[in-house]
Structure 1
Amino acid sequence: MENLNGRLDWRFQKCDATDAANVLKVRFLQFFFDGFAYFCLKLKRNSIMKTNKEFIVEYCEALNGKPKPTELINCYISDADAELKGHIMIFEAGIPCYDFIPEDIITEGNKVMVRFTAGGKHTGDLFGCAPTGNDVKVSGIIVYEVADYLIVNHWMEMDSVGLMQQISAPKTQLA
């Protein structure tokens, strides 16, 4: 048989018409099953692999209202973002097992933005403020940069003034 360039195709040399027809059938079935296997593998891989949004949702659920040991934090946050690890440890010391509730999640490429509410009982030292026992609640926005199912960077804005008002000792009235 000749290929499109007019050369004899080596796969069909020394084949009579019957053999060539069988070879074509076998090649067609191989092509069909290879394509089907590739489709199944891709489907399986996509069902196993998480999107960045799913990864961040899992991260929020893993930390929400629970202790946040270093081992758990290391499962989600790269060593490249030591600042985020530090934020978590500071808040965990002052507001143990604090809640971190995502209100909105928006994804674009490898960045995931979360509008959140965080809160809990102020039972430890936080930013130099002694424990008050107050229930505190703060809102904010954080953008996570995700690579290979790890947070590698973040940007955060939150109501720091509102938080400090909640954890500070009440101011005495001047006479």
Structure 2
Amino acid sequence: MSPKLNELLVRRYVEDVWNAGNLELVDELLDPNHIRHDPILSDDVIGTESIKAQIKSLRTGLPDLNFDVKIYPAADGIHVTRQWILTGTHQGKWMGIKPTGNHITNTGMAISRIANGTIAEEWIQRDEIGLRKQIGQA
């Protein structure tokens, strides 16, 4: 795919799946064996059902979540980097933590690898300490 099509794929994933909660699109946009490397978790998240569970968990904890993203497709035609600011209100149980009612603002980035018109793999980094402080865990 072209860098522009890769950018559109990743934008759709963020806006329609993460922000809007349209989990039906996960199977269309992600490779069935998708791998998400996320340092907040002890193991990689593998497969679309695991990704759906992660999205549900985050949307339960922050039901008004919004990722404001800047997307940078790589010239190699395979990778897309996105930088984000996540905002939301901690209104539900999340990561085993009872709702605090705190407004959350968190920054991070991800690199996605595109293969066969889907997102095959992602590497995630975020301000974990800042996030935990905002929900009273640090």
Is this a same-fold pair by TM over 0.5?
Answer: yes
In 2, the alpha carbon distance for the partners of 1:125 and 1:138 equals 18
Secondary structure at the aligned position of 2:9 is classed as helix
CA contact (8 A) 1:78 1:150 kept: yes
CA deviations 1:71-117 (Å, max 9, x no partner) are 13222222212627143232112112411111342323211010111
TM-score after normalising by structure 1: 0.60
CA contact (8 A) 2:71 2:80 kept: no
CA deviations 1:9-30 (Å, max 9, x no partner) are xxxxxxxxxxxxxxxxxxxxxx
Structure with a larger share of its residues in strand: 2
The corresponding residue for 1:160 is: 128
Matches within 5 A, 1:13-24: none
Q: Unaligned 5+ residue runs, structure 1?
A: 1-45
- Structure 2 vs 1, CA of residues 104 and 53 (structure 1 numbering), >3 Å: closer, same or farther? closer
CA deviations 1:15-60 (Å, max 9, x no partner) are xxxxxxxxxxxxxxxxxxxxxxxxxxxxxxx9xxx62112112222
The corresponding residue for 1:124 is: 92
In 2, the alpha carbon distance for the partners of 1:119 and 1:57 equals 17
In 1, the alpha carbon distance for the partners of 2:115 and 2:64 equals 27
- Structure 2 vs 1, CA of residues 127 and 141 (structure 1 numbering), >3 Å: closer, same or farther? same
Residue 34 of structure 2 corresponds to residue 81 of structure 1: yes
TM-score after normalising by structure 2: 0.74
The corresponding residue for 2:15 is: 61
CA contact (8 A) 1:110 1:146 kept: yes
Percent identical pairs in the alignment equals: 24
Structure with a larger share of its residues in helix: 1
Matches within 5 A, 1:38-53: 51-53=5-7
Higher RCO (Cα < 8 Å, 6 or more apart): 2
Q: CA RMSD in A?
A: 2.4
CA contact (8 A) 1:103 1:117 kept: no
Q: Which of 151, 155, 172 is the equivalent residue of 2:119?
A: 151
The corresponding residue for 2:69 is: 102
Give every structure 1 segment of 4 or more consecutive aligned residues whose post-TM-superposition deviation is greater than 6 Å: none
| Count of aligned residue pairs for this structure pair | 121
